[in-house]
């Protein structure tokens, strides 16, 4: 996977931001942890120029917070943040679900969702959280992309990714996986039926439920 050295195509562009983002998404860095430029230059064998560029990107995306003259750190969310994020997610992803239902005529979408659903069934039956969470992400991703709106996609992504870590905690520490799975079923069912209104309602219900589960997490996981 790493640097395709000689034979294969040049290492071309592996934007540093992508690597960092991937590590952040999987929780490799602790929230609140400082991201010192000098450390990153060594860790990734890149110049400070590129490290700073990557950090700016991630800050713009909300993964990282940047304080003037004080550097960057992995974003920590307060309960207030979480509430505001979910409030917005409800309308944004609600719209996405509605649009996906209206666009279910597209075979690509239909098959994609079907395949995804099969995998999720597997993971849910075995209660395999580590496998379910990425599938969950991919499902929401697929729905967000269904409409082909880069704006919808960008807005939704910015809201979804920062709370991935908390979502992981939720699925880990409670029997919420099955509940979440049932709600996904409801959403997909409405979408497959081409029922936009129902899909939106189901999605909003799902997100509100997800919010409540996150809200119930212990204080240590939040900022402030």
Partner DNA sequence: CTCCCCCGGATTGTCTGACAATCTTGTATG
Partner DNA sequence: CATACAAGATTGTCAGACAATCCGGGGGAG
Footprint on this chain of DNA (rule: CB under 7 A): 10, 12-13, 34-38, 46-50, 52-53, 66, 68-72
Nearer to a second copy, 41 or 56 (CB): 56
3-state secondary structure of 223: strand
Distance CA 72, CA 14 (A): 21
Residues near a second copy (CB under 8 A):
13, 53, 56-57, 60-61, 68, 81, 84-85, 87-88, 91-92, 94-95, 147, 149-152, 154-155, 158-159
Say if residues 64 and 35 touch (Cβ distance below 8 Å).
yes
> Shortest gap between Cβ of 221 and DNA (angstroms)?
23
198 binds, among DNA, a second copy, none (CB under 5 to 8 A by kind): none
Tokens standing for residue 124: 């849910």
Q: Which is nearer to DNA, 71 or 134 (CB)?
A: 71
Strand boundaries in the chain, DSSP class E: 34-35, 64-67, 71-74
CB–CB of 21/74 below 8 Å? no
Measured from the CB atom, the residue of 71 and 194 that comes closer to DNA is 71
Taking the least distance from each CB to DNA, the nearer of 14 and 91 is 14
Q: Are 44 and 16 in contact (CB under 8 A)?
A: yes
């Amino acid at each position: 996977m790493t640097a395709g050295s000689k034979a294969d195509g040049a290492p071309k562009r592996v934007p540093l931001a992508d690597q960092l983002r991937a590590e952040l998404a999987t929780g490799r860095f602790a929230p609140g942890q400082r991201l010192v430029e000098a450390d990153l230059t060594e860790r990734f064998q890149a110049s400070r120029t590129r490290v700073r560029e990557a950090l700016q990107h991630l800050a713009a995306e909300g993964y990282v917070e940047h304080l003037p003259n004080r550097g960057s750190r992995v974003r920590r969310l307060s309960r207030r943040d979480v509430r505001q994020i979910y409030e917005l997610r409800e309308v944004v992803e609600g719209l996405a679900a509605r649009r996906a239902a209206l666009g279910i005529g597209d075979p690509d979408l239909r098959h994609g969702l079907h395949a995804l659903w099969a995998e999720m069934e597997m993971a849910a039956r075995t209660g395999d959280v580590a496998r379910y969470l990425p599938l969950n992400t991919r499902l929401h991703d697929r729905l967000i992309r269904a409409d082909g709106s880069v704006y919808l996609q960008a807005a939704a992504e910015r809201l979804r990714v920062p709370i991935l870590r908390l979502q992981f905690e939720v699925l880990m520490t409670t029997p919420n996986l099955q509940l979440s799975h049932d709600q996904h079923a409801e959403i997909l069912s409405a979408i497959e039926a081409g029922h936009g209104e129902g899909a939106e309602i189901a999605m909003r219900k799902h997100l509100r439920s997800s919010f409540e589960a996150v809200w119930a997490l212990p204080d240590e996981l939040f900022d402030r």
